[in-house]
Amino acid sequence: MKQIFINLAVKDVERSMDFYINLGFTVNPQFCDDHAKCMVWSDAIFVMIMSHEKFATFTKKPIADTKNHIAGLFALSVESIDKVNEIVENGLHAGGTEPMPMTDYGFMQLRKIEDYDGHTWEVFFMDMTKLPNRI
C-alpha cells in the first residue's frame, strides 16, 4: 500500500497533537515520542508533528516561519459540507484560525484552518455531479 507522511515542525508537540485530534486525526503511538507524534487521517495519510529540534535532524535548511510565510497547502477531502464545517469549527474551538472565509466554487466548497504554527489545511467537499467539463 502506498502511504503519505507529511512532516511538520511545530513549537509545542503536545498542544499541536491536541489540535489535530480535534480536527479528527487519531494518534499512532508506534511512531511517537516526546519530540514527535504520528497523527493518522486514514490508512494512507499520516502527519508527523515534530519539535523544531527533531525536525532539524532531517534537513540542513532552516525551518520556515509558517506563521508569516506559506510553506505549503495541505488539502483534506471529506464526504459533505457538514463535515467540512464540523472539522473547521472543531479546529477553531481548539485554538486554530481561519485565515479567510469559505470559498464556494459551485462544485466544491472549501474552508481553511491554520494550526498554532500557521500550517494551513484546506478542508473541502467536492460534488462530482456538479463538476464542470473543465476547471
Task: List strands edge to edge, sheet with 108-114.
Answer: 73-77, 120-126, 108-114, 103-104
Q: Is residue 24 part of a domain?
A: yes
pLDDT below 50 — which residues of the chain?
none
Q: Is residue 60 part of a domain?
A: no
How far is 29 from 41, CA to CA, in rounded Å? 14
pLDDT value of position 133: 76
pLDDT value of position 79: 96
What's the domain count of the chain? 1
Q: Is residue 48 part of a domain?
A: yes
* One-character DSSP codes across 72-120: -EEEEE-S-HHHHHHHHHHHHHTT-B--S--EE-SSEEEEEEE-TT--E
89 is in which domain, residue-wise? 4-52+68-130
Instruction: Record the pTM.
Output: 0.91
Q: Is residue 135 part of a domain?
A: no
pLDDT value of position 59: 95
Q: Is residue 61 part of a domain?
A: no
pLDDT value of position 131: 82
Indicate which CATH number applies to the domain containing 74.
Answer: 3.10.180.10
> Residues, the chain, total?
135
pLDDT value of position 135: 57
Q: Is residue 58 part of a domain?
A: no
How far is 95 from 115, CA to CA, in rounded Å? 8
Q: Is residue 9 part of a domain?
A: yes
